[in-house]
Structures are given as structure tokens and as C-alpha cells.
Amino acid sequence: MKVSGDWLDNPATQSVMGMLTGAGYHALAVGGCVRNALLGVPVADVDIATDALPETVSRLAETAGLKAVPTGIAHGTVTVVAGGEGFEVTTFRHDEESFGRHARVSFGASLQQDAARRDFTMNALYAQADGTLIDPLGGLPDLQARRLRFVGDPQARITEDYLRILRFFRFHAQYGDPEQGLDAEALAACAEHSAMLETLSRERVTAELKKLLDAPDPAPAIAAMAQSGVLLPVLPGAQPQALPVLVHLEGDKPGGWLRRLAVLTTEVETLRLSKAETRDFGKVRDAFSGIDSPAALGWRLGWRLGCDALLGRAALLETPPAPGWQAEVMRGAQADFPLKPRDLMPMLLGPDLGRALARAQEHWLAQDLKPDRAQLLALLGLA
Ligand code: ATP
Ligand code: MG
């Protein structure tokens, strides 16, 4: 069986794999790129596994005129930059101390061990530069059945790295069969160790949660997390009920993680969001409690956040927005408030000016953005 796609045909991918195979090493695309290519969904980045040691990867890259950045030397990862793209090249690895990360073993043995340290069978699929698939753990039938299965014993794998609990729900949301439900034994192991999620870095948790919430329908995975006690340590105070309603209202236009997160919770202190993300999240949450029209939301928040606020509020109220709401949010997003501060000067100055502008603005929004400049000046007694 072969995999294919622009990501593999890409001369940059071929040059990175070729610099390794040309020197007699193995080079295999692995993980997300192979999995997604088999599923026919977009490939984000290409990871490469090799039996060459990190210092050899760096040396071969330099000889080939490519830049090599030691981004994760402790994990055996060198990022090779080709055609403006970064390729993470990771040396076959075995996670047992006794083995040592510098050990050079025969290819067959080390590929098997590299596969064994990965989290799920569908993430342990490899492809050669010509697309030939290598499936050391039977991940392909699992992928075809959209069955998320831990590599090895779920208990053992979870205690090695508790982030795998979240990854279990994340990959199920992205690639699992929603009809099938989650593997009972793995689910029980996730539930048993859920308290350990608090020990993980906020960055790692946030990255997984965003990917989960970006899935077309994250609601079943979030419901399973709530039921098994996995949601609580990640998002204390989360209320999962409105999420399926939101996903239903979104229809064939799935929203992003921020909108989904906003209907789940008010508290995001357990996450690591950027300043801009925290501000946007707050704006959307604040809009839920108001009674702004779709056009007013569009004006206050802009098109994207206006849609997030409108649909999120509708989900929490369990009432679909009125037909044509998109055009209304857009009308608001494109509208210009007709008064400028200088229109009120010098009659009003300082805090008085600010208060008058705010009053005129609220009137204009409540009146469907219709009053013009003269009407607003009259409202303020300045006509
Ligand atoms: P995405 O498209 O979301 O990036 P991905 O499969 O590439 O999906 P990554 O988090 O980028 O996911 O990880 C790349 C690969 O590394 C995975 O496919 C998996 O084989 C392995 N991996 C990553 N994190 C872990 C982990 N915590 N435990 C075991 N294996 C992991
Ligand atoms: Mg990836």
C-alpha cells in the first residue's frame, strides 16, 4: 500500500528524506502526515523518523546546504529547514533508560521500538519517500475502522505521560468514529488517573484542548471527559450541556475552539492563552449576558467574534438566531458610527465628552444603527 500527496511529492520533503537515504540511512515520514494522508484530510506538518543520530542529521543537512536547528536534542530531534519549511527529523527512539538514546541498533528492531513508544496505533504509521506504507503495529486497520487504540497497555502508557489522557479524547474527537464510542478499558484508565492532569504544564494542556475543540464535533468527546472526571481538572466549572447545541447551530460551518470554549466555561485560569486570546474570550463571554442585536454585536466585536458571540449566546439560550443573522452581523461589522469626538467639541470636553459619546452610541445601537449624525446631535441637545 502507498500513501501520496503534495506533502510527500514536495521537493523540500524529498530533499530532506533524500539527504538521509542517499547516505545509507532510513528516512520515514511518520505520525500525523501519514495518518492524515490515509484519511484524505489536510496534512499540517511532516515529521521524519530516521536511524541516523542527531549529529549525523545535522552534518548531512549542512552538506546538503540545508539549515539544521537542534530544536529538541534531548528527544533526538533536529529541525531541518528546506524550501522555507521546517521538518522535524527525530532519531528512532526507545524510551527505556537501559537502551540509551545513542544506541544504534538494526533498523528492524529500532523501527519497532520507535513505533512502540508512540501513543496510538493510528499515529504509528510510517511511509518511505516513494510512499510505501510501513505499519509495524497494525495501525492501518484501526485507522480504517476509525478506532483509537493505545499502543500497548493503556494503564502503563498513561502513567508514562498523563497528557495521553487528553490526547486520547482529542484524537477520538478528530478521527474517531462517533458511533463507536470510546474503548472501555482505555476510558477506565483515563478516569483512574484524571487527577494527574493537574500536574501537566498549562501549555501542553491548552494545545491539546484547542485541537480537541477545533474538531468538527467535539461534543461527544467533551461529554465523555465530563462523565469520566477528566474535564474537571482541565476546566473546573465547565458545563458541557450547551456544546452539542452550539455544534448543531453551527451546522456545516464548524466554529473554532474559542467559541466552543466560551459556551463551556467562564474560567480559563487553568489554560495558557495569549493576551489577545484572553481578551477575545472575555469579549465573547461578556456579550453572552447582553441583549445586543446581531448588528450591534457585529459592530462591537467585528465579524468573527460577533458570530462567535451570537451563536454562543443562542446555544446557551437554546434558541436559534433569526434567519439572516449572518448578514446582520456583517452589516454591523462594516458600519461606521456617525459621530466623531470633534463633532461634540468644544461644547463638551473631557469626561462629559466621553459620557455623551457613549450615550449616543448605545442609542444608535439600540435603534438598529439607523440614527444619523444630525439625529444623534439632537439627542445630545447639541443640534
Ligand atoms: P497533529 O496533526 O495534530 O499535529 P500529530 O499526530 O502530528 O497530529 P503531534 O502532537 O504533532 O500529533 O505528534 C506527532 C507524533 O508524535 C504523533 O503522531 C505520535 O506518534 C507522537 N507523539 C506525540 N506526542 C506523544 C505523546 N505524548 N506520547 C506518545 N507519542 C506521542
Ligand atoms: Mg504534528
- With a 6 Å cutoff on the Cβ, whether 118 touches ligand 1 is yes
Q: Write b or e for each residue in 91-104: b if 16 or more Cβ atoms lie within 10 A of its Cβ, otherwise e.
A: bbbbeeeeeebeee
Query: Does residue 317 belong to any structural domain of this protein?
Result: no
The answer as to whether 347 is a domain residue is: yes
Shared-domain flag, residues 140 and 150: no
How far apart are the C-alpha atoms of 18 and 279, rounded to whole Å? 46
CB distance 161 to ligand 1 below 6 Å = yes
Q: Is residue 273 part of a domain?
A: no
- Based on the fold, state whether residues 140 and 168 are members of the same structural domain: no
Query: Quick one: 11 and 129 in the same domain?
Result: yes
For ligand 1, atom 15: residue with the closest CA: 31
Does 41 share its domain with 101? yes
Residue 128 in any domain: the answer is: yes
Longest alpha-carbon distance in the chain:
87
Same domain, yes or no: 117 and 196? no
Q: Residue whose CA is closest, atom 7 of ligand 1?
A: 32
Which of 236, 260, 276 terminates a domain? The answer is 236
Beta carbons within 10 angstroms of residue 248's beta carbon: 12
In order along its 383 residues, the chain shows pLDDT tens digits of 999 999 999 999 999 999 999 999 999 999 999 999 999 999 999 999 999 999 999 999 999 999 999 998 888 899 999 999 999 999 998 765 444 344 443 444 589 999 999 999 999 999 999 999 999 999 999 999 999 999 999 999 999 999 999 999 999 999 999 888 899 999 999 999 999 999 999 999 999 999 999 999 999 999 999 999 999 999 999 999 999 999 999 999 999 999 999 999 999 999 999 999 999 999 999 999 999 999 999 999 999 999 999 999 999 999 999 999 999 999 999 999 999 999 999 999 999 999 999 999 999 999 999 999 999 999 999 98
Q: Which of 173, 288, 158 is nearest to 225 (CA)?
A: 173
Q: Indicate whether 315 belongs to any domain.
A: no
Same domain, 151 and 117: no
Write out the DSSP string of 13-39. HHHHHHHHHTTT--EEEETHHHHHHHH
- Boundary (domain end) residue, out of 144, 174, 208: 144
- Classify residue 303: in a domain, yes or no: no
Q: What is the C-alpha separation between 199 and 156, in angstroms, rounded? A: 17
Does the Cβ of 121 fall within 6 Å of ligand 1? no
Q: Are residues 155 and 202 in the same domain?
A: yes
Closest atom of ligand 1 relative to the 170 alpha carbon:
3
Atom number in ligand 1 closest to CA 31: 18
The CA-atom distances, in angstroms, between 366 and each of 15, 103, 262, 370 are 60, 71, 25, 9
What pTM did the predictor assign?
Answer: 0.92
Q: Which amino acid is at 305?
A: L
How many Å lie between the centroid of ligand 1 and the Cα of residue 311?
32
User: Where residue 70 sits, what CATH number does that domain have?
Assistant: 3.30.460.10
Shared-domain flag, residues 138 and 171? no
User: Is residue 208 assigned to a domain?
Assistant: yes
**Which residues sit with Cβ closer than 5 angstroms to ligand 2, an ion?**
32
**Count of domains forming the chain:** 3
Residue 191 domain boundaries: 146-236
164 lines ligand 1 (CB under 6 A): yes
Residues 57, 114, single domain; the answer is yes
What is the per-residue pLDDT for 75?
84
Backbone phi, then psi, for 86, in 5-degree steps?
A: -95, 130
Scored b (16 or more CB within 10 A) or e, 66-86 reads: bebeeeeeeebbbbbebeeeb
Residue 77 DSSP SS3: strand
| Ligand of minimum distance to the alpha carbon of 42 | 1
Ligand closest in space to the Cα of 150: 1
Nearest-atom index, ligand 1, CA of 164? 27
**Rg for the chain, CA atoms, rounded:** 26
Residues 130 and 76 in one domain: yes
> Domain boundary at 96, 119, 144, which?
144
Bond from prior residue into 351 cis (ω within 30 degrees of 0):
no
Say how far apart CA 29 and CA 90 lie, in whole Å.
Answer: 10
Residue nearest atom 17 of ligand 1, based on CA coordinates: 31
Q: Say yes or no: 129 and 171 in one domain.
A: no
Q: Which atom of ligand 1 is nearest to the CA of 161?
A: 27
Q: What is the CATH number of the domain that holds 229?
A: 1.10.3090.10
Name residues whose C-beta falls within 8 Å of residue 331's C-beta, 6 or more positions apart in sequence: 295, 298, 369
**Closest atom of ligand 1 to CA, residue 163:** 27
Chain Cα centroid distance, residue 36: 15
Closest CA to 20 of 125, 120, 107: 107
Mark whether 96 and 113 lie in a shared domain: yes
Query: Is 150 part of a structural domain of the chain?
Result: yes
